[in-house]
A and B are shown apart, each in its own frame.
Chain A
């Protein structure tokens, strides 16, 4: 009897591990990026660019891809995360915490972004479609102009804190953290976001979100608490963005200007990445991030000044020809084959 119970248990755990197989290609991509950067130091700047776009897509996808709600003000969470890092360093650089101040910065960025997402989620998520998109633009722009207009946190002159970092950790350590570890954190955030995405997909949350994306009213009638799951996805996605902003902007650049970190262009880049890769898929944001980052880098190097002129028609062709993205199209092709287990 006991042995039967045991075998059932071990079988279940195998099933559980199998559930997470689709993480392998995603983590493979991130590991490969990291290794390329380590082995070829001259490639590190390209690697960091790609890592940022992958992380942005992966974090944004948790909300935009899974719910189908278009949050045009997503960059506000990254911006607040960057401010969290700035304020965290500014407040704690004389406490003798050494490297600890960075974690204070990340946690503060996470908290600030989460707090904003709670407020926005409670208020704006009552709206749908275009109204939601416009409301979120309003939040982002409103925040930016509040900081500039009321001269909050340095106003439009922003915050610069390279000196404080040096004081707290010494010049050498600061350099390594700013040029290397900040980017490693970005890859870690991408990996965490990917894990959360798959966890949501494989649980009740994922089913609820799929139902919500397909038909919100029908989902409601079926007794799904749509609001709860919507807000959950929104807050998760925003907190990831907060950490991403804290490390990839706040820590890496050691300065924050409101005009830079509330730039709506980053939201659009995130949307392009998700749509390129396939909205609501796990591998999509990583694939889209790589493709977007590489083509942006390549076009910029080959056709300086007119890269956007070339890029705009490419976006349009992709939207019309592959509305489901790379991974979405691929998933249809491999249905029923062994590969299906590894792609989600």
Chain B
């Protein structure tokens, strides 16, 4: 019985982990290139969930349409914020960029609240379900899993195979060296920030394939914190590390929840979160470059 519950939860955890990982890649891409931590990360995930919500509820289209649309919205917003704010802070102390990204997140939240209101929202997109021996999976969750992996592969191919991807990796490795080789570093900053935000907004759409209720302008905070843990797990600055970090995180989160539920007299949901932050601190102490990070 317990084993069945555990394997059911771990399957859910694997799918959720893939989404988490995909949702953290944008954060890591931006940090890898610009050394800026996007504290407003969760707000962009939230924005993606609202794009999905609007496409499904107001236009009556399948949320799959929202995926490319969300990327375009995110890319445009990323470029806008880069040219007016972030691009001017690349040499400023950390304090400034951390506060700037926080304020950007706040702006996104408040604009969303202004348009959609602050009540909880949700929708039901049902395309059937698959019954496994230990759990029942809605097909939308399987979509989410497959799309997440496709996005990861696409990002990997872009970074490895294309000219701009190679240039980007050169900037991550050695900014000055890249400049000497004739790479326009500022353009690479702009590109990484825009793609990073685009990926993040897109991940919000994919998140609604897993959970399509509980959408709220302020839902992003919890995802920001999770993304930080995942980013450190996979090695800050490594987009692909983030994906595997996300998978591990999803498995740990769901697995420990099942096990902690067995202990009487505690609140398993909160304690699960304690466990994840405890793991974060241990990893930061033992291997600050991340569990999977390569220096």
Question: B-contacting residues of A (Cβ < 8 Å)?
Answer: 64, 68, 70, 72, 123-124, 126-127, 129-131, 133-135, 137-139, 141-142, 145-146, 148-151, 155-156, 264, 268, 271-272, 274-275, 279, 306, 308-309, 311-313, 315-316, 319-320, 323
Contact = CB atoms under 8 A, between A and B. Distances in A.
B116 to A, nearest CB: 13
B33 interface: no
Contacts of A156: 267, 270
A319 B274 contact: no
Contacts of A323: 89, 92, 96
B136 interface: no
A149 B273 contact: yes
Contacts of A313: 103, 107
B104 A316 contact: yes
B94 A133 contact: yes
B169 interface: no
Given A64-B95, A149-B266, A149-B268, A142 B281 contact: yes
B111 A149 contact: no
A63 to B, nearest CB: 12
B120 interface: no
Given A271-B98, A319-B103, A134 B31 contact: no
A306 to B, nearest CB: 6
Contacts of B89: 319-320, 323
A123 B269 CA distance: 27
B96 A275 contact: yes
Interface in B82-98: 84-85, 88-89, 92-96, 98
Nearest to A213: B93
B267 A149 contact: yes
A72 B99 CA distance: 11
B268 to A, nearest CB: 7
Report the interface size class on chain B.
35 or more
Contacts of B31: 130
A319 B271 CA distance: 38
B232 to A, nearest CB: 6
Contacts of A308: 106, 109-110
A316 B274 contact: no
A169 to B, nearest CB: 34
Contacts of B270: 145, 148-149, 156
B85 A134 contact: no
Contacts of A271: 95, 98-99, 102
B56 interface: no
Interface of B: 31, 35, 37, 84-85, 88-89, 92-96, 98-100, 102-104, 106-107, 109-111, 113-114, 221, 225, 228-229, 231-232, 236, 265-274, 277-278, 280-281, 284-285, 288
A139 B274 CA distance: 9
Contacts of A131: 232, 236, 284, 288
Nearest to A141: B277
Given A149-B270, A315-B99, A316-B104, 18 more contacts: A129-B35, A131-B236, A135-B284, A138-B228, A141-B273, A145-B274, A146-B274, A150-B266, A151-B266, A155-B267, A275-B95, A275-B96, A308-B106, A308-B109, A309-B110, A312-B107, A319-B100, A320-B88
A319 B228 CA distance: 24
A319 B265 contact: no
Nearest to A274: B95
Contact of A309 (B85, B114, B231): B114
A261 to B, nearest CB: 15
A149 B280 contact: no
A188 B193 CA distance: 45
Contact of A138 (B92, B106, B272, B284): B284
Contact of A141 (B225, B265, B267): B225
B196 to A, nearest CB: 15
A93 B98 CA distance: 43
Nearest to A146: B274
Given A268-B102, A313-B107, A130 B268 contact: no
A129 B94 contact: yes
A148 to B, nearest CB: 4
Contacts of A316: 85, 100, 103-104, 107
B274 A149 contact: yes
A275 B271 contact: no
27 contacts: A130-B31, A130-B236, A133-B94, A133-B98, A134-B231, A134-B284, A135-B284, A138-B284, A145-B277, A148-B267, A149-B266, A149-B268, A150-B266, A150-B271, A156-B270, A268-B102, A271-B102, A272-B99, A274-B95, A279-B93, A306-B110, A309-B107, A309-B114, A312-B104, A315-B103, A316-B107, A320-B84
Contacts of B103: 312-313, 315-316, 319
A135 B273 contact: no
A279 B96 CA distance: 10
B258 to A, nearest CB: 15
Nearest to A320: B88
B265 A151 contact: yes
B278 A142 contact: yes
* Highest count of chain B CB atoms <10 Å: which of A123, A145, A146, A315: A145
